[in-house]
Structure 1
Amino acid sequence: MIEVIKKIRQETGVSLALCKKALEEAGQDAEKAKELLRKWGQELASKRSGRGTSQGIIEAYIHANKKIGVLIDLRCETDFVARNKDFQELAHEIALHTAAMNPLYLSAEDIPAEVIEKEKEVYRAQMAKEKKPKEIMEKIIEGKLDKFRKENCLLLQPYVKDADKTIQDLINDNIAKIGENIILARFIRFER
């Protein structure tokens, strides 16, 4: 059991005590324990979301070809956490992801209404020839819009190194690990 706890700790970065508790609650199933830890991390993230984030770092990444550059503003509650290796690693990973995936917006709320309307028009035009009921077409359009948001919003994108997690999940995991609210305030990506 100790080896399994160590393995879970190594994979999640969560404390040994929490790993043990999750493993016990999951009936000694390591995968279920990791899922429990992830759920607890999301609950913790939502509890901490109201807390201020006045500290943080600006992370810069320039691709090896010198043609892509990224700046991200990752914020936390204390300067102690801003200097923390895990926090700085998170910032670097998000910057790398941003360089690779080229998001257009930070979150779904940042997409202008005109862009959403334009996308809807495109989808309606694509489906004009199909003889489907209006409510079915609207559901299909909503599904396509959801896909558009996930492809173009940084926080909703699947993490390039683990497609099972979004960037927001990655941040939430680190909130649970570090114990402080963390937000990605803004980013900018340059490409030549």
Structure 2
Amino acid sequence: MAQITAALVKDLRDKTGAGMMDCKKALNENDGDIEAAIDWLRAKGIAKADKKSSRVAAEGLVAVHSDGTTGVVVEVNSETDFVARNEGFQAAVAKIAKAGLTVNSSEELAQAQIEDGKNTTEYLVSLVAKIGENMSFRRMNKLSVDQGVVTGYVHGAVAPNMGKIGVLVALETSGDAELIKELGKKIAMHVAATSPLALTTADLDQAVVAKEREMLKAEALESGKPEAIVDKMVEGRMQKFYKESVLMTQMFVMDPDRTIEQVIADEAKSIGTDIKMTGYVRMEVGEGIEKKEEDFAAEVAATLKG
């Protein structure tokens, strides 16, 4: 039997939002295997289907930058939110985002020349002494269209084009750039709010789809209904999962009577030209980065002893 530590219980609680005693029981039932424990909690209807609570926020900024047909979104981390509001740090993030237009990957941007012969990594190191805190470039995503607009939106902006959540939207069209840019911004705001898993159903990660189907079936079987009924229940719930998880079939947050697909089609009809959405990127500061919370560990430890 694996040792069920306070840290393991805390990790499971962060990932699922379930109570501490439920997490402890799930880990005991699954010999300390955290992924199996997550599945167990979901099958019992204790944990939520998503794991958004595992996205413990680190500090820093996300920035977007676009030249019209190409756009980038970057994340640069700092130790505290206070530094994220430092003008020197913000200037550095802006320079890194602008340099992103000249490269095609995070690895290339880390080595791109930023200032005075220094690449991104070296440039941030040189700022540590000035700002008094460690900083690091984490990642970049880029979108381009041959004709049309790549536009962005930043949620929780602390400076122009930078904040806690950055979104890029790529729309391919021959239509008026300013009108398309406005449409793109509205869709980007929707993406920031809803965090879709994919652009279309075909773009969904099939491993995620299979896992969702498996979990929904386990939940349905818990109801005690016959398997034939369970299969129909699962299919119905999968259709709901697709509609809620896929951007093009999500209901537009600014107009809940229309899907994003309908919003784009209506705009295309209005301006008299085709509009095709070719991609989007949503980036949030600290996604997947865990921060220690020592005070909570003591609470979990006390529960384990009880």
Under TM normalisation by the shorter chain, which class is it? 0.5 to 0.7
Where does residue 85 of structure 2 map in the other structure?
none
Q: CA deviation at 1:154?
A: 0.9
- CA distance, structure 1, for counterparts of residue 223 and residue 154 of structure 2: 46
Greater fraction of residues in strand: 2
The answer to whether structure 1 residue 143 and structure 2 residue 236 are counterparts is yes
Where does residue 258 of structure 2 map in the other structure?
165
CA contact 2:167–2:281 (8 Å) conserved in 1: yes
TM-score (norm 1): 0.66
Where does residue 172 of structure 2 map in the other structure?
75
Which amino acid is 2:239 matched to? D
Which amino acid is 2:149 matched to? I
Where does residue 156 of structure 2 map in the other structure?
64
Large movers: runs of 4+ above 3 Å: none
Q: CA deviation at 1:54?
A: 4.5
Which amino acid is 2:254 matched to? K
- CA distance, structure 1, for counterparts of residue 185 and residue 258 of structure 2: 17
CA contact 2:201–2:246 (8 Å) conserved in 1: yes
- CA distance, structure 1, for counterparts of residue 228 and residue 271 of structure 2: 45
Where do residues 80-95 of structure 1 align in structure 2 (5 Å cutoff)?
81-83=175-177, 85-95=178-188
- CA distance, structure 1, for counterparts of residue 155 and residue 224 of structure 2: 47
SS at match of 1:188: strand
Greater fraction of residues in helix: 1
- CA distance, structure 1, for counterparts of residue 146 and residue 282 of structure 2: 23
Unaligned regions of 5+ residues in structure 1, if any?
A: 1-52
Deviation string, structure 1 residues 91-116 (Cα, Å, up to 9, x no partner): 11111111111112111111122221
- CA distance, structure 2, for counterparts of residue 113 and residue 63 of structure 1: 30
TM-score (norm 2): 0.42
- CA distance, structure 2, for counterparts of residue 155 and residue 97 of structure 1: 11
Where do residues 3-152 of structure 1 align in structure 2 (5 Å cutoff)?
54-65=146-157, 66-76=163-173, 78=174, 81-83=175-177, 85-152=178-245
Which amino acid is 1:73 matched to? A
Which amino acid is 2:252 matched to? Y
Deviation string, structure 1 residues 21-51 (Cα, Å, up to 9, x no partner): xxxxxxxxxxxxxxxxxxxxxxxxxxxxxxx
CA contact 1:57–1:82 (8 Å) conserved in 2: no
Q: CA deviation at 1:57?
A: 0.6
Q: CA RMSD in A?
A: 1.6
Which amino acid is 2:147 matched to? Q
Which amino acid is 2:206 matched to? A
CA contact 2:220–2:233 (8 Å) conserved in 1: no
Q: Percent of pairs identical after alignment?
A: 37
Deviation string, structure 1 residues 45-92 (Cα, Å, up to 9, x no partner): xxxxxxxx851111011113410000111111x2xx142x33221111
Where does residue 267 of structure 2 map in the other structure?
174
Which amino acid is 1:56 matched to? G
- Aligned CA distance change for structure 1 residues 137 and 91 (closer, same or farther; 3 Å): same
